[in-house]
Amino acid sequence: MNTIIAGLQWGDEGKGKIVDYLTQSADVVIRSQGGNNAGHTVITHGSKYILHLLPSGILWDDKVNVIGNGVVIDPVGLVEEIARIESQGVTVTPEKLLISDRAHIVLPIHRELDGAREAALGPHKIGTTKRGIGPAYADKINRCGLRVADFNDLAYVTERITRRVAEANEILARYDLPTFEAAAICAEVFTAFERLRPHVTNTIPVLHAAWKAKKSLLFEGAQGTLLDVDFGTYPFVTSSNTTAGGACTGSGLPPMAIESVIGVCKAYTTRVGSGPFPTADAGLSDYLHGLGREFGATTGRPRGCGWLDTVLLRFACMVNGVTGLAVTNLDGLDAYDTLQICTGYQIDGRLHTLPPAERDAWDRAVPVYESLPGWKCDTTGCTRYAELPTQAQAYLARLAELCGAPIALVGVGPDRAQTLAV
């Protein structure tokens, strides 16, 4: 079964755990977009692993992991990530990790340009992680980016970096930000790339051979649907296509290779960074933060938390073609007497069951809630779906009904074992 794992909210849905869980029956795990602005936390056998560029399948010894052409790679950051995970006992060999030679590169200047742009936007800032992802994708679209394959000609790369540094320094100087020396950047990036070189290959024929051999392929998405550059809450979005379609363009595999799409959402809603969030609830945020939950894996920033928003989920299921829902963090609601589910928005006196495209409409969106009884008991010890309280099962059934997709998996805790198949 070839499956895409897609986030259905604003990212941070727990996709890493779901990918890790499903990897046991997969042969190849593919990351197809985004950069190290994403963070997946996987907890298994009592150990915690935080991944940014590495696919979550890296934790399994007998799986092939691919960083696809749609990813923008910070070579320095990736080398550091490999070193960190190897210090935790995970092996990262050239047979186990393949890097597309068509993937674009994030340079140190991209990170600074990201920060400069955020500073220039002031109160209208996007809330990026300042990892340089947006400027790297901008260079890609402007056809002036560097790709992994270019590092076979270091003279060419040196010339391109020197030119790009000069352009970037002009911008950074306007904001009194530190400027860069091209030679220092070249030395840093070349050193990192030499560590990565054994992993680099043309991944497209590798993936097509696996597909033709009927191997099981698992596509790991980064961020979530509402951060998609086309379908998200624009302009408060990321710079790539985070939806299921991005898995094809970011890997080189055609749509007919895809057999299922698992959409991942929390049992409530979270968001980090700037942008609209109609169902945000300060009380739920305080409660979850008090439990030590809902802090970003990449930045450590506390996430805003709110009630489940099925206006967003309904739309996300549409654009991704979701065939099954993986609902994580159900246990986060264990203590509540009454739960709220947003079923629509009132905007200027009209009921909307799908999110608006107009930026200003979000400022006037008032959530319409439906109340359901909570279950007021600990679900973290449940080992089968049938063991969940009847109120929890009713909550999930209503979620599925409102979203138009069946429940496939339920998470009742952070560990791999705390995943219930329906």
Catalytic residues: 12, 40
- How many whole angstroms separate alpha carbon 48 and alpha carbon 70? 27
CA 6-11-15 angle, 5° bins: 50
- How many whole angstroms separate alpha carbon 371 and alpha carbon 383? 27
Q: Choose among 284, 286, 322, 295: nearest CA to 402.
A: 322
- How many whole angstroms separate alpha carbon 210 and alpha carbon 105? 26
Phi, psi torsion values for 363, nearest 5 degrees: -70, -20
* Burial class (CB within 10 angstroms; exposed 0-12, middle 13-18, buried 19+) of 389: middle
Residues 6+ apart with CB under 8 A from 302: 272, 285, 289, 294, 295, 296
Peptide bond between residue 355 and the one before it cis (omega within 30 degrees of 0):
no
Which ranges in 213-346 belong to alpha helices (H)? 244-249, 282-290, 310-320
Phi, psi torsion values for 348, nearest 5 degrees: 55, 40
Do the beta carbons of residue 323 and residue 262 sit within 8 Å? yes
Do the beta carbons of residue 209 and residue 253 sit within 8 Å? no
Do the beta carbons of residue 306 and residue 270 sit within 8 Å? yes
Q: The tokens 């970011």 sit on which residue?
A: 250
